[in-house]
Amino acid sequence: MKITAVEILRLRGPAPERPSWYRQSRPLAHYPEHAPTSRWQSRSAHPGVQEADYLQIRAGDHLGLYGPVDRPASTVVTNELRDFLIGKDPRAIAIVWDQMYRRDRHSRSSYPMMAISAVDNALWDLAGRLHGVPVYELLGGPRAATVEAYASTLGTSLDEGAAEDRARALADNGFAYQKWFFAYGPGDGPAGMTANVDLARRLRTAVGDDVELMFDAFMSWNLPYAREWLRRAGQFRPYWLEEPLPPDQLEATASLNRESEVPISAGEHLYGRWEAQRYLAAGAVSILQSDPEWCGGVSELVRICTVGSLHGVPVIPHGHGIRAALHVVASQPPSICPRVEYLLEFMPFKLHFEQVVPTPVDGRITLGTEPGFGIAFDESRIDDIRTL
Nearest Cα neighbor of 145 from 369, 344, 305 is: 369
Give percent of the chain above pLDDT 90. Answer: 93
Using CA atoms, how far apart are residues 315 and 269, in angstroms rounded to an integer? Answer: 14
Q: What pLDDT is stored for residue 35 in this prediction? A: 82
Local confidence band at 32 (pLDDT 50, 70, 90 cut-offs)? confident
Alpha-carbon distance of 202 to 207, in angstroms, equals 9
Q: Do domains 5-132 and 137-376 have the same CATH topology?
A: no
Q: How confident is the model at residue 376 (pLDDT cuts 50, 70, 90)?
A: very high
Please determine, for residue 356, whether its predicted confidence score (pLDDT) is greater than 60. yes
Segment 308-328 shows an average pLDDT of: 98
Name the CATH superfamily, with its identifier, for domain 137-376: Enolase-like C-terminal domain (3.20.20.120)
**16-25, 301-310, 330-339: least confident range:** 16-25
**What is 20-81 written as a DSSP string?**
PEE----GGGGSGGGS-SSSEE--TT--SEEEEEEEEEEETTEEEEE----HHHHHHIIIII
Q: What is the pLDDT of residue 40?
A: 53
Kind of pairing, strands 264-266 and 240-242? parallel
Q: Is the pLDDT of residue 69 over 70?
A: yes
Coil, helix or strand at residue 321: coil
pLDDT band at 19 (very low <50, low <70, confident <90, very high): confident
Q: Examine residue 68 and say whether the peptide bond preceding it is cis (omega within 30 degrees of 0).
A: yes
CA end-to-end span of the chain, whole Å?
Answer: 23
Q: What does the pLDDT read at residue 39?
A: 52
Nearest to 190 by CA among 224, 234, 155: 224
pLDDT tens digits, residue range 268-307? Answer: 999 999 999 999 999 999 999 999 999 999 999 999 999 9
Q: How many helices (H) and strands (E) does the chain have?
A: 13, 14
Nearest to 59 by CA among 118, 5, 100: 5
Question: Exposed, middle or buried: residue 265 (CB in 10 Å: 0-12, 13-18, 19+)?
Answer: buried
Cβ distance 207 to 167 under 8 Å?
A: yes
CA 264 to chain centroid, in Å, comes to: 17
What average pLDDT does the segment 228-244 reach? 98
What is the rounded average pLDDT of the residues 9-22?
Answer: 90
In angstroms, what CA-CA distances link 327 with 45, 111, 144, 323, 334? 35, 23, 11, 6, 13
Q: What is the pLDDT of residue 45?
A: 47
Ordered by start, the domain boundaries in the chain are 5-132, 137-376
Q: How confident is the model at residue 43 (pLDDT cuts 50, 70, 90)?
A: low
Q: What is the DSSP letter of 92?
A: -
Question: So what's the pLDDT on residue 47?
Answer: 66
Contact between 131 and 362 (Cβ < 8 Å): no
Average pLDDT of 355-369?
Answer: 97
- For 14, the 3-state DSSP assignment is strand
CA distance 183 to 358: 28
> For domain 5-132, which CATH number applies: 2.40.50.1020, 3.20.20.70, 3.30.390.10, 3.20.20.300?
3.30.390.10
pLDDT tens per residue across span 130-163 = 999 999 999 999 999 999 999 999 999 999 999 9
Mean pLDDT of 25-36: 88
